[in-house]
Each structure stands twice: as structure tokens, then as C-alpha cells.
């Protein structure tokens, strides 16, 4: 005997989505009302891959507010138990390409610089890949391959190469490592002190409202921000709670948003 559906349940589901749509429309109206003139300041939003758990939400928020950002990609393990540059993520990356964002390398295996050795070598440790968690010595060509492998893979996924920029995992670098990137055609991009948005900090000690207010209070003209598309350790995810009000708040303060490489 077939179980009859509960009309009240269908009504509740429909009402929930109606409210969600109304809320999104309300935020868009508020944004447009507080930001009607030309911007007087510029901020650059950037995102590193991380575990990708809030990737779709970040993409939707940026699209809704017509904000362009810059993404730094590594083949990191995701919350789906696959990797960020697997074929399964092709639709996501293509959506961001279609939306007109910028893209840089974060090294293919998320390879951390440890220290310089001798005259022409660096000691590194990759988080993923065949040499994960091993201390490995690399010279220029080998480290360049870590940078350019992301470019090659992204071109396969999207038909578009990276912009000629990269970011060292953890922001850990040295003049030698920066020069390595330049020899293979990539400029290193860090972030501003006020641009550290804190999404990798423990949420018990650094709750989302605190991180939002701190960013709104301290970001200045031409600052580069840094957050992730998901962090394993943070219990209360940053992006769903902070990104949209941050964009709205910055627009109300006269900021516009540009990609790395765009002139302010």
C-alpha cells in the first residue's frame, strides 16, 4: 500500500525555499542601495583551495553580488574524499571561469617551503602526492614543475590556462623561492596583514562575528585578502556566515572588488 504524502510537509519545504529566495533578493537589494556610486577604494579577494567544503557557497555568493575574485589552486584532498583538480570538480572550475574570475597556482601537491639549502636548493615538504610529508630537496626546475603542473591541469579541465601568478602554501617563502617562480613565468602573490581573514583559526577563540568586524574595521585600499574554500579544523565554517556580509559591508564603505592583475 502506497504511503500518502503529507501536504503540510510539502508546504513547509516550499515555504523554506521561498524564504531562502526572498532572503537572497533582500540582500541583493540592500547591497545595491548602499552601493550606488563609484568606488573610492579597492580590495582584492583571494581564495586558496583548502578542502573545498564551502566552494559552492563561495561561488554562489560571488556570483550573486557580481564580485570578481582570484583563486589559487592546489590538488588538495577534499571533503568528498577526492582531490580538488579531479575531473569531478570540472563543472565547478568551469563555472568560475565563465564568471570571469582569475586563477593562480598554489603548487600541485601543496608543497611547503622549509628552508634554503646551499646556493641553489630548497628544502620542501608536500602535503599530498607521492612524497607527502617527506622532506625533499628541490632545485629550480623541480619546484617550477610544482607550479606549472597546476597550469597544465587547469587547462585540461577548463581550456584556460592560469594567470601568471602563484602563492606559496602557508605564505612560506624566500627570495630564492620567489625567483624560482619568476624563472617559470609566475609572480608570487601574498596577502596583506589586514587581509588575513582568519578562516583557518579555531572558531571557539575567533568566532565569525569577530572575524567579520575585524576585517571591516581594518581593511584598507589595495589590500589583498586571503581565505580558503574550506578548512578541516574549523568547526563553524567561515564563508557561509562572513563572506556575504563582508562584501556588503565593504561596498557600503566605498570599496570595489578587483582580481589580481587588474589596476585599481
Q: Distance between CA 162 and CA 142 in Å, rounded?
A: 19
> Quick one: pLDDT band at residue 124, thresholds 50, 70, 90?
very high
* Of 203, 198, 184, 191, residue with least CA distance to 260: 191
pLDDT one-digit tens code per residue, 194-246: 999 999 999 999 999 999 999 999 999 999 999 999 999 999 999 999 999 99
Q: Which residue has the cell 556575504?
A: 244
The secondary element (H helix, E strand) that includes residue 91 is helix 90-98
Gyration radius of the chain's alpha carbons: 20
pLDDT one-digit tens code per residue, 160-187: 999 999 999 999 999 999 999 999 999 9
Strand order in the sheet with 255-257: 223-224, 41-44, 255-257
Does residue 3 carry a pLDDT above 70? no
Tell me, what's the pLDDT at 5?
39
Q: Distance between CA 40 and CA 142 in Å, rounded?
A: 43
Record the pTM: 0.86
Beta bridge partners of 113: 124
CA atoms within 13 A on the CB side of 188: 19
Residue 206 CB burial class (10 angstroms; 0-12, 13-18, ≥19) = middle
Q: Which residue has the cell 564568471?
A: 99
pLDDT one-digit tens code per residue, 4-48: 434 444 433 343 333 344 444 444 444 444 444 578 999 999 999
* Of 235, 42, 202, residue with least CA distance to 210: 202
Amino acid at each position: 500500500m502506497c504511503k500518502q504524502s503529507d501536504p503540510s510537509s510539502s508546504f513547509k519545504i516550499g515555504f523554506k525555499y521561498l524564504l531562502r529566495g526572498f532572503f537572497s533578493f533582500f540582500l541583493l537589494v540592500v547591497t545595491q542601495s548602499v552601493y550606488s556610486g563609484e568606488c573610492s577604494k579597492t580590495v582584492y579577494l583571494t581564495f586558496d583551495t583548502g578542502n573545498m567544503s564551502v566552494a559552492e557557497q563561495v561561488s554562489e555568493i560571488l556570483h550573486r553580488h557580481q564580485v570578481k575574485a582570484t583563486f589559487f589552486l592546489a590538488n588538495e584532498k577534499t571533503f568528498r574524499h577526492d582531490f580538488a583538480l579531479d575531473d569531478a570538480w570540472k563543472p565547478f572550475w568551469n563555472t568560475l571561469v565563465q564568471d570571469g574570475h582569475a586563477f593562480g597556482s598554489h603548487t600541485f601537491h601543496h608543497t611547503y617551503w622549509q628552508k634554503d639549502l646551499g646556493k641553489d636548493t630548497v628544502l620542501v615538504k608536500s602535503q599530498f602526492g607521492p612524497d607527502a610529508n617527506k622532506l625533499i630537496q628541490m632545485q629550480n626546475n623541480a619546484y617550477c614543475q610544482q607550479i606549472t603542473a597546476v597550469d597544465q591541469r587547469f587547462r585540461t579541465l577548463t581550456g584556460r590556462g592560469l594567470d601568471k601568478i602563484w602563492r606559496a602554501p602557508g605564505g612560506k617563502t624566500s627570495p630564492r623561492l620567489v625567483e624560482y617562480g619568476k624563472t617559470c613565468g609566475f609572480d608570487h602573490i601574498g596577502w596583506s596583514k589586514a587581509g588575513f581573514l582568519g578562516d583557518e583559526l579555531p572558531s571557539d577563540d575567533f568566532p565569525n562575528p569577530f572575524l567579520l568586524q575585524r576585517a571591516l574595521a581594518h581593511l584598507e585600499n589595495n589590500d589583498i585578502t586571503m581565505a580558503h574554500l574550506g578548512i578541516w579544523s574549523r568547526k563553524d565554517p567561515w564563508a557561509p556566515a562572513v563572506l556575504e556580509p563582508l562584501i556588503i559591508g565593504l561596498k557600503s564603505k566605498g570599496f570595489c572588488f578587483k582580481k589580481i592583475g587588474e589596476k585599481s
